[in-house]
Amino acid sequence: MFQHRSLRFIFCAALLYIPSAQAADWPQWLGPQRNGISAETGLLKSWPETGPKILWRTPLGNGFSALSIADGHAYTMYADSTGEFAVCLNAASGDEVWRFRTGSYYKEDQGGDGPRSTPTIENDRVYVLGAQGKLFALNIADGKKIWEKDLSAEFGSEIPKWGFSTSPLIEGELLLVETGGVNGNMLVDMVIDRETKATAVALEKATGNTVWTALDDKMSYSSPIAFTVNTMRQAVFFTAYSLVGLAPENGEISWRFPWKTRWDVSAATPVLIPPDKIFISAGDQSAVIHLKAQRDGVVVEEIWKNSEMKNHFGTSIYYQGHLYGFDQSILKCIDAATGTEQWKTRGYGKGSLIIADGRLIILGEQGNLGLAEATPEAFREQANVPVMNGRCWTIPALANGKLYLRDEREVVSLDLQGS
């Protein structure tokens, strides 16, 4: 057990932060509550043999940035021979509304080229992070720059092996981003004050000015989450070395759970299990921890740890007492309380999924789209149809009854309401 002595509070309820958007929008990474679950109902319970109706297909350049949808527009990032871009599409037609150049073309020999981070939307702004660490706040209507931040130049961040992948998180008046500690890079130490280097930073979302910096861990590819427990707000970062809870107002460490695998890579986002547990997975292990209040602080207690749900990069989803996700290339359901496998199936490779209207919507690595009941009883597949033509490592997005998928060549919109 790992304890922090200065924090005193009683756990009671936990709520994720929800950026302001329309009820059925999908304004950020993993959706409205950053948990991969849509509150939409009335979706098709079964699909035709050919799958849901395809509304449009739009060619797009390289990248793994997912789509964020708000007020009839879809936002993502891509790269082509001329550079890297944030782009706004008309959600009804797929037509380009605007694009903004965020940097030069990012090439990666093993994982694939292009940007990885997903845009974050709030009100009249969209926040985007390029693969090489350029962070922008853009006007949502026309894509004009409001402010810019170079994470490498300001914080001494090394570009990770597979590029900056974290998606910015809005927390009140702040924008939280993992920037990556330098960890003893002597060349950078010579030109940048050690105190400015940090794994996590909070910026004023209005101006981009730095409010606080925290940690000096090796950077991961994971995205932070934030939730409230009683009156205590927690910003949780999953670095290459630990899961850490920070006070959003000042970046002080509330608790830390050491985590180190043989690969030193954390890509999946931490998963809140209300009211006071968190699931994490990276490398060859997964675990659930419990945040327990004591008189003189918080004890971080490991509930279970095993290798039943080894998320390579896709984030698992917690739903009604169970975790659904990809154990490498095997789709599984496990009991969140014990880590015990409930069922498993193949056929989707290293895919991704979301949950909506009581069903799993599964996007396979090779472009097949599946529909299955979200139940621990058994894998009950109701459809499995080819939709995409390229490698799919990007999670689906669902907004206003429309499903948005992406591979390394195009974006596709499908009608899940059957209208």
Q: What is the pLDDT of residues 136-184, one digit of tens each?
A: 999 999 999 999 999 999 988 888 888 999 999 999 999 999 997 554 3
Q: What's the CATH code, domain 2-415?
A: 2.130.10.10
Half-sphere exposure of residue 257: CA atoms within 13 angstroms, side-chain side: 26
Residue 254 burial (CB count, 10 A): 21
Query: What's the pLDDT score for residue 293?
Result: 75
How far is Cα 31 from Cα 290, in angstroms, rounded to an integer?
24
Place of tokens 């105190």: 195
Cα Rg of the chain, angstroms: 20
84 strand-pairing partners: 79, 103
- Answering whether pTM is above 0.75, one says yes
Place of tokens 């597979």: 162
- Start-to-end CA span in the chain (Å): 53
Contact 106, 163 (CB under 8 A): yes
How far is Cα 319 from Cα 310, in angstroms, rounded to an integer?
18
Residues with Cβ within 8 Å of residue 109, at least 6 apart in sequence: none
Contact 105, 98 (CB under 8 A): no
Residues with Cβ within 8 Å of residue 218, at least 6 apart in sequence: 180, 181, 183, 199, 239, 240, 241, 264
| Dihedral over alpha carbons 362, 363, 366, 370 (to 10 degrees) | 40
Local confidence pLDDT in tens for the 419 residues of the chain: 444 434 433 344 444 444 545 568 999 999 999 999 999 999 999 999 999 999 999 999 999 999 999 999 999 999 999 999 999 999 999 999 999 999 999 998 777 899 999 999 999 999 999 999 999 999 999 999 999 999 999 988 888 888 999 999 999 999 999 997 554 343 334 444 445 558 999 999 999 999 999 998 888 899 999 998 777 889 999 998 899 999 999 999 999 999 977 666 788 999 999 999 999 998 889 999 999 877 766 789 999 999 999 998 899 999 999 999 999 999 999 999 999 999 999 999 999 999 999 999 999 999 999 999 999 999 999 999 999 999 999 999 999 999 999 999 899 999 999 86
Residue 95 burial (CB count, 10 A): 11
DSSP state letter for 146? E
Q: Smallest Cα–Cα separation from 92: which of 114, 76, 69?
A: 69
Structure tokens at 111: 């994982």
Contact 341, 286 (CB under 8 A): no
How far is Cα 216 from Cα 152, in angstroms, rounded to an integer?
14
CB burial of residue 405 (10 Å; 0-12, 13-18, 19+): buried
Contact 26, 397 (CB under 8 A): yes
Q: What's the residue count for the chain?
A: 419
Task: Taking the CA atoms of 68, 84, 57 and 346 in sequence, report the sign of the dihedral they define.
Answer: negative
The identity of residue 41, as a single letter, is T
Q: Smallest Cα–Cα separation from 166: which of 88, 208, 220, 121?
A: 220
